[in-house]
Amino acid sequence: MRKTTLQSLTLSFRYHHPCHHSRPQPCYRINMTKFPPTIALYQTNEDLWTHCTTVVAVRQLSQLPECDRSLFKQVGEAEHDKHWVVTTTETIFYAQGGGQPYDTGVMHTTLAEGEGVSGARFLISAVRHGSHGQILHLGRFESQGDGTVAFTPGSLVRQALDGERRGLNSRIHTGGHLVGLAVHSLQIPGVTELKAQHYPELSFVDFRGTIASAHREAIETRVNEFVQRALPVTVHWWTRQEVRDKCKAVPEGIPVAPGNGDEEMVRVVDIEGAGAYPCGGTHVPDASHVGRVAVKKISRSKGNSKISYKLVV
């Protein structure tokens, strides 16, 4: 089991959210400000795929303020009353962000921690960072026959994520870091890494500067050398200064968490022997789990370059 280097850290990241600068909404019938932020367990233990926790709130999607409802554009307004949003004390479900898609899975009511599941099932179709630090689980309850909502605040539930989806997203995300590190290792002049997207249907890394198409084969070869070497992937918590000193790229607006004392800490993913990035996403234990990577193309526009990639196996 992989562990982080700062086990006592409380995971309550600070993300910009439209609600943080808006007036309270009348439809926000539960005052979520009285609850602490959701603890994102995947930040300290990516191998935790089942977990028992407590329900904080259960609301119809239509009851959320507009700034939170807008996070779930895949649900039409006519369907808002048929979808529910559950918040819990802790979660193992990755909330979309940092270029990585959300986890999906299920929550079951359970009688006690360590015991079997009982009764209600909530099928999770999306997970997002909401206002006030809560992580929002969108989904629908399996029919109970009587039309009642199965969860209530204080209910004990067991979370179980879709391991196949998490595994694929983690492979793609680590693969994106390998692409960036390959470019750094080849010392292509005048290039600065900007951002990335790690989706199964569209994966790329953006750079400021020009990367000629002639570099495509060399980048792909270097990425797969990292894969073949099975470079270990480890998670650390570093200060902002350590991040600036040690990381290959430092994007603006990186999420931070309170550390020991007043120091803000940044989650860092280190691909040992290649380089480290500040990153809140999930990853594989070592580079061999990524599998072979193909660099599809290098495109250029307005002084920037985009390297598109995909997993082959």
CATH number of 18-161: 2.40.30.130
pLDDT at residue number 216? 98
Tens digit of pLDDT for each residue in 249-269?
A: 887 666 666 555 567 899 999
Tens digit of pLDDT for each residue in 40-71?
A: 999 999 999 999 999 999 999 999 999 999 99
> What average pLDDT does the segment 280-293 reach?
97
- Cβ atoms of 311 and 218 within 8 Å: the answer is no
Q: What's the rounded Cα separation, in Å, for the pair 116 and 118? A: 7
pLDDT bin (cut points 50, 70, 90) of residue 18 is very low
Strands 39-40, 90-91: pairing kind: parallel
CATH architecture, domain defined by 166-311: 2-Layer Sandwich (3.30)
pLDDT at residue number 131? 86
**pLDDT, mean over the chain:** 86
pLDDT at residue number 149? 62
Handedness of CA 41, 47, 52, 56 (dihedral sign): positive
The domain spans of the chain are 18-161, 166-311
